[in-house]
Structures are given as structure tokens and as C-alpha cells.
Amino acid sequence: MKRYTLVLMFLVVCPGILSAKEASDDPHNLFSKGNAFYERKEYEKALEEYTKILNSDIESGPLYYDIGNAFFKMGKIGYAILAYKKAQKLITGDRDLKSNLAYAQSLTEDSALRLPPQNSLIWLIRLPFGDFNLNTVASILLASYLTLIILMVFGIMNPVFKTRASFPFYLALLLFLMTLANFSTRYYTEEALTHGITVVKESECKYEPIDKSTTYYTLKEGQEVLVLATRNGWRRVKRLDGKLAWVKKEAIEEI
């Protein structure tokens, strides 16, 4: 009888324990716990909670934004910039994010080293959607394309509609072409190219991927590079001024 009682107690208590564990692992609860730690200035504990969310294959702009803030408070400027850059891919036109990223970048050594100025045509193409992330631009591109198809189909089926819908058609066509040009240029720079952030205080960049090679230049924490290749614990990088070199893999984290 005692054994059956213990089994019954286990069956009753165990689901409660499991549900409590599931609740504690819920991303919303983890995010709230992380924010609570952040408010108490326990930034390392806040990062632990945020990291648990990332480990469950969940990403969001606000999450990376808060991770960046926590790293910034800990004085880890490189990791803060890395998190802000990841947040930029997921958040559209957030002024606080832009401000925090710009401020973090201003604190890095050689902060004046930035991408070369865009030519006028590229600048003009990107201007209308400058505050939108790539996913939003892709959604606008798809919507304008579907609108064109619908207008064309109705125009073929009904000549009267075709005459009346000529202005909306050309407007949708213009939007489609502008969005297509914007998406194409941004996809190449943001997705086809691999960007990385220097996350260590200082790292020597070599002419060859060996320790004994001559140092070409030094990367400072927070500097952005293009990652061209990775092999044998080294990364082939291109600095924003075009200089190529090899650097230890752990010095650079990909965005």
C-alpha cells in the first residue's frame, strides 16, 4: 500500500514540477528575468538569461538590443556593437538602437575608420528605404510584385478596368523597380558579404595565417571588417579601408 501511495504522489507531483520547469524556460519569463537583473545592475546574470533564449533558437531585435546594452554596461564595447548590429537586421528604424550603436562606435579606437562614402547613384537607390531592414524591403518588394500581377490580370480580363487602372499600375511598377534596386544592392552588402566585429581589446593582423608572420596592422575592439575566409583558426579579413590580412579566429565574431 505504501508503495502505491508513493507512486500516486509521484504521478501527482511530477507534472507540476515539469510544468514549473517549462514555465521557467519560457522565453517571455527568461526575458523578464533578464530585464529584472539588468535593472538591478547585475549585467552578467542578465546576459545568462538572454543567452538561454538564444540557445532555444529564438532571435529578436529587442533581445539583441538588450544584450548589447548589457555588454555596453560591462565595458565590452566590441560585443555591444556586435549585438546592436544583429538587432539592426531585425528592427526597423529604431532611433534608440541607432543612437546606442553610434555612441558605442564613437568610443572605439580608430572610430573614424568607416566604410568609404557611397556613390551618388547607390545613395539615391537606398534613400527611400533607409530606415527599413532587409526583411521589410523584401516584403514591400513582394507586395508590389503581387499588386502588378493582379492589375495585369484584371486589365487583360476587363479592358475598361485596364484604362482606369493605368495610373495605379505605373505607380506599382515604379515602386517595384525602386524596391528591387534597393533590395539588390543591400542584399549584396548585408547578406552576400560576411561582416565581423573585433571583440578583443587588440589583435595583430598578419600577412600570413601563422604566428611568426609579420604584423600588417592592428585591429582595435569594435572595429568592423569583412570576413573573406576562415581556416585553421584564422580569419582572412578585409578592413573597411581595403587592407587584407589574417587574424586569429577568436578575435572576430561574425554579425
- Res 3 pLDDT > 50: no
Task: Assess if residue 115 is contained within a domain.
Answer: no
Q: Are residues 12 and 101 in the same domain?
A: yes
Task: Assess if residue 114 is contained within a domain.
Answer: no
Please tell me the distance from the alpha carbon of residue 160 to that of residue 64, in angstroms, as a whole number.
52
Q: What is the mean pLDDT of residues 128-140?
A: 80
Please tell me the distance from the alpha carbon of residue 199 to that of residue 228, in angstroms, as a whole number.
17
Q: Are residues 54 and 145 in the same domain?
A: no
Mark out the alpha helices in the chain (DSSP H runs): 2-24, 27-39, 43-55, 61-73, 77-88, 95-106, 120-126, 134-157, 159-164, 166-187
pLDDT level of residue 20 (50, 70, 90 thresholds): very low
Q: Are residues 176 and 229 in the same domain?
A: no
CA 27 to chain centre: 19
Q: Are residues 50 and 132 in the same domain?
A: no
Q: Are residues 156 and 232 in the same domain?
A: no
Burial of 82 (0-12, 13-18, 19+ CB in 10 A): buried
Task: Assess if residue 75 is contained within a domain.
Answer: yes
Q: Are residues 162 and 202 in the same domain?
A: no
Domain boundary (106, 136, 167) is at 106
Q: Are residues 69 and 150 in the same domain?
A: no
pLDDT level of residue 46 (50, 70, 90 thresholds): very high
Q: Are residues 8 and 101 in the same domain?
A: yes
Q: Which domain holds residue 26?
A: 2-106
Grid cell in block for residue 143: 507586395
Q: Are residues 185 and 223 in the same domain?
A: no
Task: Assess if residue 90 is contained within a domain.
Answer: yes
Q: Are residues 132 and 98 in the same domain?
A: no
List the beta bridge partners of residue 215: 206
Task: Assess if residue 234 is contained within a domain.
Answer: yes
Task: Assess if residue 102 is contained within a domain.
Answer: yes
- Between 35-39, 78-82, 92-96, the lowest mean confidence (pLDDT) is in 92-96
- Res 124 pLDDT > 70: no
Task: Assess if residue 12 is contained within a domain.
Answer: yes
Task: Assess if residue 204 is contained within a domain.
Answer: yes
Q: Are residues 186 and 231 in the same domain?
A: no
Domain boundary (177, 192, 207) is at 192
Q: Please state the domain count of the chain.
A: 3
Domain boundary (168, 192, 216) is at 192
pLDDT digits (tens, 9 = 90+) for 164-222: 778 888 888 888 988 898 888 888 777 778 899 999 999 999 999 999 999 999 999 99
**Residue 21, domain CATH:** 1.25.40.10
pLDDT level of residue 253 (50, 70, 90 thresholds): very high
Grid cell in block for residue 115: 566604410
- Res 16 pLDDT > 80: no
Q: Are residues 162 and 222 in the same domain?
A: no
